[in-house]
Amino acid sequence: MSMSKFTVQSPRFKVGKRMIYCVLLTAFSLSVVGCRYDMQDQPRYKAHKKSDFFSDGKAMRDLPEGTVARGKLREDKDFYTGKKQNVGGTAAATAAAPATTVADGSGNTLVASFPDAIEEFPVPITEELVNRGEERYRIFCMMCHGPVGNGDGMIVRRGFPKPPTYNDDRLRNAPVGHFFDVITNGWGKMNSYASQVPVADRWAIVAYIRTLQISQNPNGNMTMPSSRETNTTNTNASELPKPVGLPNSPTQGGTR
């Protein structure tokens, strides 16, 4: 009797042992996986997170004053702002002759004096510059300002507020820095084009606007003085690329 009992129990006992091995192995495998500690789990802070470590509670440190990102120095004030550098840090020019603003019949903001705008181009005037300016002008400005700058662009003809013409004495006498400023910061009803038109292209467009003004006033004595290098300083109207009259009307569907 007892023998038979023993033989019956034996296989049960073996199964139990195997179960224990299985459980142990699973536990071991799990514990090994749990210990994984890889580079993706670094003990580091994410940007803008809180931290108890620094007294100001921020994980990120403030940049030392005057820090400039690489390539963002923009030391050349004339080129990047179109404004005169204020000598000794005082806005002497601006204070001496504050600009007065009046609105014309169509509600445009007309200003006749631009005391802090630079008068000379901060880039050399070349044919490439003017050609580039023509291309950019046709993309970004012509639909409002019209092919020669008379403020009769296609969307103005369809009802958009009419900009003032470039071809009157006020804007002929306006310094180049003013045009750069208008593109960069917008002007009255006109938006800023800084995000679409990079700085160098803004100067190219201003150069093209000047050639348009000269083309519409061929007997005037306008010049395009540049403060930068070259024998092209004080480029005369006669030295500019010739075809600045009425450009061909752009074809629909855009073959140009």
Size of the site for ligand HEC (CB under 6 A): 23
- Does 182 contact ligand HEC by CB under 6 A? yes
- Does 108 contact ligand HEC by CB under 6 A? yes
149/243 Cα distance (integer angstroms): 15
- Does 250 contact ligand HEC by CB under 6 A? no
- Does 247 contact ligand HEC by CB under 6 A? no
Q: Which of 151, 148, 141, 152 is nearest to 210 (CA)?
A: 148
Residue with tokens 């006498």: 173
184/191 Cα distance (integer angstroms): 9
Token readout for 202 is: 């803004």
- Does 121 contact ligand HEC by CB under 6 A? no
C-beta closer to ligand HEC: residue 186 or 220:
186
Number of Cβ within a 10 Å radius of residue 114? 23
C-beta closer to ligand HEC: residue 26 or 196:
196
- Does 187 contact ligand HEC by CB under 6 A? yes
Query: What is the per-residue DSSP string for 91-104?
Result: -HHHHHSPPPEEE-
Strand partners, 83: 117
Q: What are phi and psi of 200, to 5 degrees?
A: -60, -40
Instruction: Tell me the one-letter amino acid at 253.
Output: G
- Does 163 contact ligand HEC by CB under 6 A? yes
Binding piece for ligand HEC, criterion CB under 6 A, among 5-13, 34-42, 115-123, 161-169 = 161-169
For ligand HEC, the binding residue among 83, 132, 145, 210 (CB under 6 A) is: 145
Q: Where do contacts with ligand HEC occur on this chain (CB under 6 A)? A: 108-111, 140-141, 143-145, 160-161, 163-164, 179, 182-183, 187-190, 193, 197, 205
